[in-house]
Structure 1
Amino acid sequence: MPERNVVSWTAMLSGLADAGRIEDARRVFDEMPEKNVVSWNSMAAGLIRNGDLDEARVVFEQTPDKNVASWNAMIAGYIENDRNDEARVLFDEMKCRNVITWTSMISGYCREGSMEEAYCLFRKMPEKNVVSWTAMIGGFTWNSLFQEALLLFLEMILSGAKPNGETFISIIYACAGLGFPFLGKQLHAQLIVNSWKLDDYDCRLSRSLVRMYSVLGLMDYAHNIFEGDLSYCDDQSFNSMINGYVQSGQLERAQDLFDRVPIQNKIAWTCMVAGYLSAGQVLKACNLFNKMPDRDSIAWTSMIYGYVQNELIAEAISLFAEMMGHGVLPMNSTYAVLFGAIGSIAYLDQGRQLHGMQLKTIYEYDLILENSLISMYAKCGEIDDACRIFSNMTYWDKISWNTIIMGLSDHGRASESLKMYETMIEFGIYPDSVTFLGVLTACAHSGLVDKGWELFNTMVNDYALQPGLQHYISMINLLGRAGKVKDAEEFVLRLPIEPNHAIWGALIGVCGLSKTDTDVARRAAERLLELDPLNAPGHVALCNIYAANDRHTEETSLRKEMRLKGVRKVPGCSWILVQGRVHVFSPGDRSEPLVKDMLLEV
């Protein structure tokens, strides 16, 4: 080369930096006889790309006559490496910011989920372009703030800014998240009008539409786009389609498509397994799971969860042991699923063993896992252990509070349950319908009628929560157990909904054998049988009422009618847990193969 100048030197160091030869680039930079701002910026940018932000900052500080590109590169470097605080310091120091500066900072906040800071900066921007609008809309979407994304998109349109492909991708995902099929179709129509396929060179728009229609359950629309051009039928599109068919219950079509996948990835395998399990087709799910070439922790957890869904608790626990035997480490969600399953059958010994294993394999704090532990110990009768776990938690969400409140209530510790409710309010956590169900149940168990009424009215008047069936039943239990059966009947008659068989059944359940109670029970039983003529508990209750009042003719007639209708009360049962499997026994039951040996043991 006849003569080197600053341009050729800079080109050389940029090329070396781009090739990852950062030490050679630094040597060239140090040997440069003359440097301009582009040289300094290239050196800083090379260091940033190679992950040496601290050295890049040194070069940045030494740069004479920094320009906007110098500042933007350093700010973007910090943001790409999740060092937003340092980026913000530079942003605040920068005197002449441009739209790139603002957009970079907004994108950084969106990436870390600091949406208030991002939106505040967006509103302060003196000038916005399509990239800045799209960054903010995309930030809302990827942080699951779909409604905010949609509203900002409409504002963008009204401002006269023209959305690009990236904008549409973000808003298509937002439509899927909101579950708005009509709006999704409108967006698709707008894309067709604007000949979107001409610009969709990488097929990302097509893939986003396939995913949107799959999520919305509009599989015919998804199918038309998917089959329209096989050039973009990649793994992501196949996964979206398979998941869509699974979620809409079209397992045969999902299986057909799964068989067409060129390379069946773990997501497709796991989706198919989960689909069969959700449909109760456990054998097919097992066969498919056993054929999986590479089963990761997600696949194992999906299979375990499917067993739990189908009440195969022993199989779930056995599969967990097999998972550990294969050297696959369980996730937090694996343990959470098993804790929930163990709580449902009150298998305390297994729960303690699993908890001990979890403490040895999971080290980071996980709120969902802690909540599942509280629930498990409460359901297994160890409410003190549940309280201890709750007290040791560093953070509580609404589920944490609801779980411990309900657990204390179920164990008859009403005063502690109500105290937890009050503490929850003091912490600024708004109660929901589950919270009130817990405290109303506590009041019912302890006969706290006035407190129960106060909480019920608070729920309706202060928090504008609509009571559900269980809340009404809790109030019936509250009044009935306190001997206020007539008040309970009046409560039922004043309900804003038409009482169903569950409500009339609850009213019957709180009635005693006094004259007033039997009158209420008779009226409730008659209303129950009007709704459900074959309801066995209603017939039995009415028979007992007739017998208690020496109305034996009516009793005999009703029992005869029950026989003619084939109405029989389901007999009570007992159950025992053996090696993770629940064995249920009814009076006179001889179906258990080892029943004779078991009776001898008893």
Structure 2
Amino acid sequence: MVLSPDTVLWNTLLAGFSGFEAVDLFVRMVTAGSVRPDATTLASVLPAVAEVADVAMGRCVHAFTEKCGLAEHEHVLTGLISLYAKCGHVESARCLFDMMEKPDLVAYNALISGYSVNGMVGSSLDLFTELVTLGLRPNSSTLVALIPVYSPFGHELLAQCLHGFILKSGFNASSPVSTAITTLYCRLNDMESARKAFDAMAEKTMESWNAMLSGYAQNGLTEMAVGLFEQMLALNVRPNPITISSTLSACAQLGALSLGKWVHRIIAEEDLEPNVYVMTALIDMYVKCGSISEARSIFNSMDNKNVVSWNAMIAGYGLHGQGSEALKLYKGMLDANLLPTSATFLSVLYACSHGGLVEEGREVFRSMTDDYAIGPGIEHCTCMVDLLGRAGKLKEAFELISEFPKSAVGPGVWGALLGACMVHKDSDLAKLASQKLFELDPENSGYYVLLSNLHTSKKQYSEAAVVRQEAKSRKLIKTPGYTLIEIGEKPHVFMSGDRAHSQSEAIYSYLEKLTAKMIEAGYRPETEAALYDVEEEEKEHMVKVHSEKLAIAFGLLSTEPGTEIRIIKNLRVCLDCHNATKFISKVTQRLIVVRDASRFHHFRDGVCSCGDYW
């Protein structure tokens, strides 16, 4: 047993720790007073302080180095540069760098990385140019530090130039550099270039697999993400929590419950269930695949929930129209002494909006600023306008917009008001909101469609024609609607009037019989938003073959009686399809779950969970 550890032993212990543990050990070493820390000691503790981003502790360590006469030691200065840069104090880092008589490559890399982390594009590029001009040869650490500079800012040309420099300099064989290049292109949304860089890697790192998976998921290339995950498993590369989270995100976007359950089984096999981020991603997946009860079961099973876990579950209840449950959970979160975040309030406001909880929403919005000093962002303001607008309080919603900060009043806010005008048939206010939208987001065809449909529903046919002509003159194309249904783990996609499916004849025949039963039960087609210049009979045919009805008919044909039907619509479900699905659930005695562009609808026995409030 060593009664009086010397500096070497202390340094050996420090080298084996990181983060708070290393900082705590250093404090104990200094407090003991029996040994004198040296440059090696500081080389271990400074990265640990940077890791925990404790700038106050960093300044204490800096003062200690001055007192010990170690402040001018090259390795210590470099450690201090890195520390201050990572804590956001770039000016302090630069001052220390300028104190060095002849900075080496490690010092340059530390400051380049600091500029990069803090988004200082010009400074990072200038320092890199200076390094090359002085004849210092960049290494893989230099390039890895430099690359993230471009990704948040969309400098595609600079990124390509840097990539060219890397290839020319012979760095491409380096795994860290190749991974950084892959990540760079993913963040630039250039997935083709990212995949080329990824495929060119002789040895793919875990980070490179995760970069590609995350890139595909974040860019909406969900099938590519799932395919890459399958390829990764086939090569016996074991997933980590980041891998799983990205793959679950892809499953959630697809609404592919069977795929999500498959990933859930892999999570159990890999013993990743204790990981809070994996479990939170599972909650999100089950929520977005329509299984809110499974999501809650996972939430309840978690021993350690963080604020993101609570937010995911609250948002899930909002998405499924269960506003009261969302509020109950929000109160439970506060009782658990967890501080709500900006995302928490957004989830609660969304839930209130879709549940018609106006007074509760007002109180939450007030509490956000008054009790928690969280300023409303664009999304919060949009939710408040949506909340009031859905409830028919259009004048109050319009007046509230004038109270918001100018930076918060964008297309989302005016779009929420226009949608409310559509529901409550206020064409005058709709014109005003539309004009704002045409100025702010002139390439979005959806606003023209909404305004045109509103005029048509009020039999203002000439006004509707003017709006359609304006959209046509701008060469705007309406986003085509489609519906996806998964049968036996295989996805089937339908468009309106679609006859491309191999069973289309049987589907249309079944739909005819189903419609007859629905009419017997009291169903009448809602044709008010259909084209005004066609006969009523033709309007009824047009709404009868919407993609939702085709997908549901196929689902009923392809599954056993009593089986739950789940479909996903890329746009907001129309009034007629919503009404028709209620009748279908009644005459077939099936539970039908519909996920549209904004929320879930659960249809059972002729009633929708939204209470016709959506």
2:504 partner amino acid: L
SS in 2 for 1:597: coil
* Aligned mate of 1:521, from 430, 433, 436: 430
CA distances 1:312-345 after superposition (whole Å, capped 9, x unpaired): 3333323322222222222222111111111111
Q: How does 1:137-176 map to 2 (within 5 A)?
A: 138=46, 141-145=49-53, 147-148=55-56, 151-152=59-60, 163=71, 164-176=73-85
SS in 2 for 1:489: helix
Match status 1:597 vs 2:502: yes
* Aligned mate of 1:372, from 271, 278, 281: 281
CA distances 1:506-533 after superposition (whole Å, capped 9, x unpaired): 1121236768x44433443344445556
Counting aligned pairs with the same residue, the percent is 27
Change (3 A) 1:450 1:128: farther
User: How big is the shift at 1:403?
Assistant: 0.8
- For normalisation by structure 2, the TM-score amounts to 0.69
Match status 1:208 vs 2:208: no
Change (3 A) 1:562 1:367: closer
- Who is 2:590 aligned against? none
Looking at structure 2, the residues matched to 80 and 481 of structure 1 have their Cα atoms a distance apart, in angstroms, of 64
Match status 1:256 vs 2:162: no
Looking at structure 2, the residues matched to 533 and 205 of structure 1 have their Cα atoms a distance apart, in angstroms, of 49
2:53 partner amino acid: L
- Structure number with the bigger relative contact order (C-alpha 8 A, sep ≥ 6) is 2
SS in 1 for 2:421: coil
| Kept in 1: contact 2:46–2:58 (CA 8 A) | no
Change (3 A) 1:492 1:450: same
Match status 1:293 vs 2:195: no
Match status 1:228 vs 2:134: yes
| Kept in 2: contact 1:251–1:276 (CA 8 A) | no
| Kept in 2: contact 1:207–1:237 (CA 8 A) | yes
Looking at structure 2, the residues matched to 327 and 370 of structure 1 have their Cα atoms a distance apart, in angstroms, of 23
- Who is 1:72 aligned against? 5
Looking at structure 1, the residues matched to 486 and 346 of structure 2 have their Cα atoms a distance apart, in angstroms, of 30
CA distances 1:457-504 after superposition (whole Å, capped 9, x unpaired): 000111111111221222122222323222222222332326333212
Q: How does 1:481-500 map to 2 (within 5 A)?
A: 481-497=390-406, 499-500=409-410
User: How big is the shift at 1:300?
Assistant: 2.8
User: How big is the shift at 1:410?
Assistant: 1.0
| Kept in 2: contact 1:574–1:585 (CA 8 A) | yes
* RMSD of Structure 2 on Structure 1 (CA): 4.0
Change (3 A) 1:347 1:114: same
Change (3 A) 1:588 1:399: same
Gaps of 5+ in 1: 1-56, 61-69, 82-103
CA distances 1:240-260 after superposition (whole Å, capped 9, x unpaired): 456667776523323432453
| Kept in 2: contact 1:307–1:315 (CA 8 A) | yes
User: How big is the shift at 1:369?
Assistant: 1.2
* Aligned mate of 1:502, from 401, 404, 412: 412
Gaps of 5+ in 2: 508-614
User: How big is the shift at 1:115?
Assistant: 4.9
- For normalisation by structure 1, the TM-score amounts to 0.70
Change (3 A) 1:236 1:162: same
Change (3 A) 1:315 1:525: closer
Q: How does 1:529-568 map to 2 (within 5 A)?
A: 529=438, 531=440, 536-546=445-455, 552-566=461-475
In terms of Rg, which structure is larger? 1
Q: How does 1:84-123 map to 2 (within 5 A)?
A: 111-113=19-21, 115=23
Looking at structure 2, the residues matched to 441 and 488 of structure 1 have their Cα atoms a distance apart, in angstroms, of 15
- Who is 1:302 aligned against? 211
- Who is 1:275 aligned against? 184
Looking at structure 1, the residues matched to 205 and 444 of structure 2 have their Cα atoms a distance apart, in angstroms, of 48
Looking at structure 2, the residues matched to 242 and 557 of structure 1 have their Cα atoms a distance apart, in angstroms, of 50
Change (3 A) 1:347 1:145: same
2:305 partner amino acid: W
Match status 1:454 vs 2:363: yes
| Kept in 1: contact 2:26–2:45 (CA 8 A) | no
User: How big is the shift at 1:574?
Assistant: 2.6
* Aligned mate of 1:438, from 347, 352, 362: 347
Q: How does 1:348-497 map to 2 (within 5 A)?
A: 348-363=257-272, 365-497=274-406
SS in 2 for 1:460: helix
Looking at structure 1, the residues matched to 316 and 376 of structure 2 have their Cα atoms a distance apart, in angstroms, of 21
